[in-house]
Structure 1
């Protein structure tokens, strides 16, 4: 397996990095990372199985992690609202962000 950088945006305090996970020439997954100031979020999605493997949200040094679509602890509503807003924009070009939105809808 290998990783291929698909998108990198740096603008002021904003950083967006989208990476394809490949097996040979086939794209089997997608990873997206977003950082804006003290906020960070990352998600990894398996395209073949249609599963969001990993979602992590960090705000002010506190991180909330989802494995197999279940959070390790409940994030504050304000953090979830902020993440939904950012991932809604990213879902226009990222299946990982779209899958993260579906998971966050149940929080």
Structure 2
């Protein structure tokens, strides 16, 4: 993916965050590995931390611009249910090198 980003370009990332309500609702038999689960429809779900996301993208050569948790509380008053959702929202930038600047 990084090879497809132009120097100065940005990568936007948003995915499930650790301790999202959906993660906490998984049955023990659905756990494949730590924070990695299989849903009933056989799709997989991983719940990230901001540290993991930072490590993945900085090791790929990108520079963090934003990297934070988005936390929301949703209430269904009709069913009297409150859900706490967590996402990791991050923006990373591909640095402009001296070579890139001279080619522009």
TM-score (norm 2): 0.26
Return the structure number with greater strand share. 1
Higher-Rg structure is 2
Structure number with higher relative contact order (C-alpha < 8 Å, ≥ 6 residues apart)? 2
